[in-house]
Chains A and B, each alone.
Chain A
Amino acid sequence: MKEFQYTINDENGIHARPAGILVKEIKGFESSFTVWKGDKSCDMKKLMKLMGMGIKQGDTITVKVEGPDEEAAAEAAKKAFESNF
C-alpha cells in the first residue's frame, strides 16, 4: 500500500472541475484510491462522493493507494493533486 499526504492550496478546496480531472487521471489504474479527511473517507474514483467530502483550502488529506500498480498510481495521484489543487 502507498500513502501520501497533501495540503490543499486551492482557495476553492476540492471543487468540480479539478476534481473531475483528478478522477479522470486515476480511473485508469487498477489500484483503489481512498482519500481521508480526519475520520471521513471516500473512494476517490467517485466524483460525487469526492466533491461531497467538502475538502477545503488548508485541509490536509491522506491518500491511500492499494493494488498491483500502486507505485505508478500513487505517483499519478500526487501529480494530479499538485497540478490541480
Chain B
Amino acid sequence: MQEGTGKSILKGIAIGKLKLYHPPKYEISDAEISDVEGETARFEEALKKAIDQQNVLYEKALEAAGEESAAIFEVHGMMLEDDDLQDAVKEIISEQKKTAEYAVREAFDEQAEVFAQMDDAYMNARSADVQDIKQAVLDVLFGVDPDSMQGSEPAILVAEDLAPSETVRLDKSLLLGMITRQGSSNSHTAILARSMNLPAIIQCKEIDESWEGRLGIIDGYNSKVYVDPEEELLQELTAKMQEDEKKRALLEELKGQENVTKDGTKIKLYANIGGPSDLGMVQENDAGGVGLFRSEFVYLNSKDYPTEEQQFTAYKQAVETLAPKQVVIRTCDIGADKMVEYMDLGDEDNPALGFRAIRIGLSRKDFFKTQLRALLRASAFGNLAIMFPMIISKWELEEAKKLLAECREELLKEGVTIGEYQVGIMIETPAAVLCADELAEACDFFSIGTNDLTQYTLAIDRQNAKLEPFLDTHHPAVLKAIRMTVEAGHRHGIWVGICGELGADMTLTETFLRMGVDELSVNPKSILPIRKVVRELDLNAGE
C-alpha cells in the first residue's frame, strides 16, 4: 500500500480507480508569418469563441455548484474582454510577425507574471486564472476538444493541477474525486470541488505515474491518500463512506420539507447559534430562523466593553444574512461564572443565583442601553426579535421595555431608521413559570430555557456527577412547568418556543407537539433529524 498526504478540500471519502489526467500539450512555433491581417482575424475569432465558452462554462458551473462558484467564469470572460490584453496580442502579431498562438502565449504569460509578482496571495492565485484563459484561447486556435480526457468509467482523477475550467468541464458521472500535486485551498478549483461535493486532496507530492489504474482512497477527514489499500483499511473507510452517504441522503430528502406531522400539526424548527461564524449553518441545515442567538460572543471576544458600533455590525450581519427569517437575539446573559474581567462583576458564592443577565442590564443602564441601541439599529436590516434572559418579575420586563423605548426615542430623534421587531423573554426560572400569565400580557413571545429551568426547578447542579442518580431531565415537574408556560402563553395569544437542550431530545418531540409548543430552537445539526421525527408522527394514531 502506498500513502500520500496533502491538504483536504472536503471532509469526505472517495474510493475508486485512479486515473491520471493529462491536459493537452501544444507545440507553439515561433516562425514568422506574412499575413498579419489574417492572423489577427484568427486571433479575434478564437477570442470570441473562448469568451462564448466561458459563458457556457458559467451556466454549467451555475447548475453544478451555484452562483459563487460559477462567478469565476464570469471573471474569465471579463478578463478576455480586457482591451490591454487584446492589444498586447495584436501588437505581437503585427510588430513581431508571429502566429496568433505565439502572440497569445507571450502576452498572456506576461500578464500572468505581473500578477504572480504581486505580494498578495490572492492576486498570485489570479495568475493561474490568466493561464487558464490562455489555455482556453489556445484550445480554440489548435482546434482541441478538452472534453475527452476522462475515460469511460468513474474514477478518481490524479493530475499535476486542475484549472477551474477543467474542473467544471469534467463529467461528474465519471468523477469520484480529485488529487493534485499543486493547488491552493482558496483556488477556484478547491471552491468548485467543495460545492460539487467531491472529496479532493491538493498539494499531494507523492503523485506518481505508476498510480494509473490502481485502487485508490481519498480520506478527506485525515487528508490522506491510499493506493492499493490494505483490506482492513478498505473496509473501515468503505463503511465510513456509506455512513456519509446516508447522512447526505437524509439532508437531500428533508431539505425544503415542512415540519408537519401526518395529522397536520406544525412546529417551527429554528437554530441556536453563538456567533457570526455559525450563520452558514442556519441555511445549510434548513432552519426556519434563529430561535436563540447568544450575544455573549461580543462581550467574551473583547478586552473591553464592545462599542455600540461593534455590536451593531455583528447584529446587522446576522439579521441581514438571514432575512427574512426571524433572528431572536438574547441580550447579554453573562454572569460571574463567565470570565469577563473588564465587567468587574466581583466574586460570588453562588453565581447561578447571582448578579447575572438582566440583573446586570437593569443595574448598569448605560451598558444595557448600548446593546439595545445596537439591536434597534440592526432591526432595520432584517427580521429581528429581542429576548431578555432570566426574567423573574413583571417589573423587570416593564423596566427593560422602558429602556428600550428610551433608546428608540433617542435613535428616532437622531434620524436613524428602526425596523419592526418582536420583544420576548426567556422562561428559565420557577418564578417565571408561576407568573407566566402576568408576563405574557407584556411581551410577544416566550422561549423556555430548559437547561436553567431544570436546574432551578429540581435544585440540582447538572455538572455535579454525584447528583446524577437524582437528576431526571424528563422530570414530571419540568414537563409540567413547560406545559404551564405554553398554556399561559397561548391564553394571551403569544407564541412559545423552547431553546434549551430538551428541545433537541427526540424522545420528547411528540410530547412537545401534543403540548402545542410553537417552536423548537436547537443546535443546527439536529434540525433535519427532528424534522424526520415530526413528519413520521401521527398524533391521531392509536386513538
Contact = CB atoms under 8 A, between A and B. Distances in A.
Contacts of A23: 78
A5 interface: no
Interface stretch (B80-88, B397-405, B440-448): B80-88
A45 B78 CA distance: 11
A46 to B, nearest CB: 5
Contact of A46 (B71, B82, B123, B126): B82
A67 interface: no
Contacts of A13: 120, 122
Nearest to A12: B122
Interface of A: 12-13, 15-17, 20, 23-24, 45-49, 51-52, 54, 56
A46 B84 contact: yes
A36 to B, nearest CB: 18
22 contacts: A13-B120, A15-B123, A15-B126, A16-B75, A16-B129, A17-B75, A20-B75, A20-B78, A20-B79, A24-B78, A46-B82, A46-B84, A47-B79, A47-B82, A48-B79, A48-B111, A49-B84, A51-B123, A51-B126, A52-B114, A52-B118, A54-B118
Contact of A17 (B74, B82, B123): B74
Contacts of B78: 20, 23-24, 47
Given A16-B75, A16-B129, 16 more contacts: A16-B72, A16-B126, A17-B71, A20-B74, A23-B78, A24-B78, A46-B82, A47-B78, A48-B84, A51-B115, A51-B123, A52-B114, A52-B123, A54-B118, A54-B123, A56-B120
B27 interface: no
Contacts of B79: 16, 20, 47-48
A15 B82 CA distance: 15
B119 interface: yes
A15 B111 contact: no
Contacts of B83: 45-46
A17 B81 CA distance: 14
Chain B, interface size: which category?
20 to 34
Interface string B50-79: 000000000000000000000110110011
A56 B119 CA distance: 11
A15 B129 CA distance: 12
Nearest to B68: A17
Interface centre among B72, B83, B85 (most CB of A within 10 A): B83
A23 to B, nearest CB: 7
Query: Closest 8 A-B residue pairs measured CB to CB?
Result: A20-B78, A16-B75, A47-B82, A48-B82, A17-B71, A17-B75, A20-B75, A46-B84
A45 B79 CA distance: 12
Contacts of A49: 84
Contacts of B122: 12-13, 15
Contacts of A47: 78-79, 81-82
Interface centre among B72, B78, B119 (most CB of A within 10 A): B78
A56 B78 CA distance: 21
Contacts of B72: 16-17
Contacts of A15: 122-123, 126
A13 to B, nearest CB: 7
A24 B307 CA distance: 38
Interface in B89-126: 111, 114-115, 118-120, 122-123, 126
Nearest to A20: B78
Nearest to B188: A16
Contacts of A20: 74-75, 78-79
A49 B71 CA distance: 20
A47 B115 CA distance: 12
Contacts of B114: 48, 52
Given A13-B120, A15-B122, A16-B126, A48 B85 contact: yes
A52 B75 contact: no
A12 B123 CA distance: 9
Interface centre among B85, B118, B123 (most CB of A within 10 A): B123
B84 A54 contact: no
A16 B85 CA distance: 15
A35 B71 CA distance: 25
Contacts of A56: 120
A8 B437 CA distance: 52
Contact of A54 (B74, B120, B129): B120
A82 to B, nearest CB: 15
B126 A54 contact: no
Contacts of A52: 114-115, 118, 123
Contacts of A24: 78
Contacts of B129: 16
B63 to A, nearest CB: 19
A56 B123 CA distance: 11
A16 B120 CA distance: 13
A51 B118 CA distance: 10
Nearest to B78: A20
Contacts of B123: 15, 51-52, 54
A59 B436 CA distance: 54
A57 to B, nearest CB: 11
Contacts of B82: 46-48
Interface string B255-275: 000000000000000000000
Contacts of B75: 16-17, 20
